[in-house]
Amino acid sequence: MLMRILKHSLVVALLAAPFAGQAQYTCADYHKFNCERSTDKRFSMNGQSKSAMVQVGKETELNVIVYRGQDYRITLCHDRKVLGEALAIRLVEKVRVPVGPATADSTKRVYEEVEKVLWDNTEHDMVQEVEFSCTATKRIAVEVNAPGATDKKGRKPDVDIACVGILIEHMPTPGLGF
Instruction: Give tens-digit pLDDT for 140-152.
Output: 999 999 988 776 6
Any idea how long the chain is?
A: 178
Whole-angstrom distance, CA of residue 177 vs CA of residue 94:
32
Quickly list H helices, 21-147. 22-28, 30-34, 80-83
pLDDT value of position 106 = 65
Question: SS3 for 7?
Answer: helix
Whether residue 13 has pLDDT greater than 70:
no
pLDDT confidence of 29, banded at 50, 70, 90? very high
Given a contact cutoff of 8 angstroms between Cβ atoms, the answer to whether 132 and 71 are in contact is yes
Average pLDDT over all residues of the chain: 85
pLDDT for res 4: 55
Q: What is the pLDDT of residues 90-105, one digit of tens each?
A: 999 998 888 877 666 6
Q: Is the pLDDT at 19 greater than 70, yes or no?
A: no
Nearest 5 degrees, angle CA 137-CA 142-CA 148?
Answer: 170
